């Protein structure tokens, strides 16, 4: 079974530029999460999708961050314009209620550096 | 409100010594608990989980955690650590709505 895929793995941009990240969850997983992990901190949930609907985006800075999961499968997270404090690893995870697994499966992350 | 608290941000321990990484969670009607490990420059991997049943859960690499409802804790332990256990460890709780909350992490450094 393929894991959660993310791209790119690394991205360096200058402040005020735009950037987009892509995530493909494990096949059949209805729930998809985007987290921001700043160096030395735990993952912070940015947005949670259930199929193509948003369950929780309370911590998403909506003035600059946006995310979509149009067909209920893969997802993109965009930052426009980027700020220095957006430098972090952006993690995508997926989960399924089926099979009694309950846990999340994480992708390798995208390390963003904003200069 | 903080759902998960990891009190120790850094834990240095000598090789082959025992270790305990502490995790406390906010009380809830039903909760599932997890420990994830993050090795340097890698993604998060599930270490072990508590869903129901026996309060002591074990991982394949010698770690164990005990769910203590009265103390709302889920501490992670290993009787003898190895150099390869050096990593960041995150405690997480899953609540209704399939939402997960992570602690701030504990950096375990095993000293030769």
How do residues B32-87 score in pLDDT, each as one tens digit? 899 999 998 788 999 999 888 888 888 888 999 999 988 999 999 999 999 999 99
Nearest to A41 by CA among A107, A110, A105, A88: A88
The torsion angles phi and psi of B85, rounded to 5 degrees, stand at: -80, -5
> In the beta sheet, which residues pair with residue B32?
B94
d(CA A43, CA A92): 10
Q: Which residue of B has its CA nearest to A95?
A: B98
Q: What's the whole-number average pLDDT of chain B?
A: 89
- pLDDT-based confidence at A40, cuts 50/70/90? confident
Distance from CA of B18 to the nearest CA of A (A): 24
C-alpha A83/C-alpha A14 separation (Å) is 8
| Residue B100 binned pLDDT confidence (cut-offs 50, 70, 90) | confident
Looking at residue A17, what is its pLDDT?
A: 97
Higher pLDDT, A38 or B96: A38
CB A6 within 8 A of CB A77: no
Chain A touched by B95 (CB under 8 Å): no
Number of domains in chain B: 1
Tell me the two tokens of residue A8: 């790119």
pLDDT greater than 70 at residue B30: no
What CATH number did the domain enclosing B73 receive? 2.60.40.10
Interface of A with B in 20-39 (CB under 8 A): 31, 33, 35
Contacts of A10 (CB under 8 A, 6+ apart): A110, A111, A113
Q: Are strands A10-13 and A110-114 parallel, antiparallel or unpaired?
A: parallel
Interface contact B44, partner A, CB < 8 A? yes
pLDDT score of B2 more than 60: no
Taken in order of first residue, the domains within chain A and their CATH numbers are 5-98 (2.60.40.10)
pLDDT at A99 over 70: no
Best B102, B106, B109 residue to mutate vs chain A (most A CBs within 10 Å): B102
| Chain-centre distance for alpha carbon B27 | 17
Domain that holds residue B97: 4-111
């Amino acid at each position: 079974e393929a894991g959660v895929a993310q791209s790119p793995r690394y991205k360096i941009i200058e402040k005020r530029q735009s950037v987009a990240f892509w995530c493909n969850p494990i096949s059949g997983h209805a729930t998809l999460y985007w987290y921001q992990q700043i160096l030395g901190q735990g993952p912070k949930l940015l947005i949670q999708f259930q199929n193509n609907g948003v369950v929780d985006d309370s911590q998403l800075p909506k003035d600059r961050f946006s995310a979509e999961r149009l067909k209920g499968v893969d997802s993109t997270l965009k930052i426009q314009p980027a700020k220095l404090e957006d430098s972090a690893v952006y993690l995508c995870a997926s989960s399924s209620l089926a099979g009694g697994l309950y846990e999340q499966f994480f992708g390798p992350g995208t390390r963003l550096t904003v200069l | 409100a903080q759902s998960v608290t990891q009190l120790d941000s850094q834990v240095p321990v000598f090789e082959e010594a025992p270790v305990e990484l502490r995790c406390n969670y906010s009380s809830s009607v039903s909760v599932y608990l997890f420990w994830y490990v993050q090795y340097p420059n890698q993604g998060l991997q599930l270490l072990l989980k508590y869903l129901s049943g026996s309060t002591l859960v074990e991982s394949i690499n010698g770690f164990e955690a005990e769910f203590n409802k009265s103390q709302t804790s889920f501490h992670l332990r290993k009787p003898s650590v190895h150099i390869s256990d050096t990593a960041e460890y995150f405690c997480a709780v899953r609540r209704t709505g399939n939402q997960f909350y992570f602690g701030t992490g504990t950096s375990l450094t095993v000293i030769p």
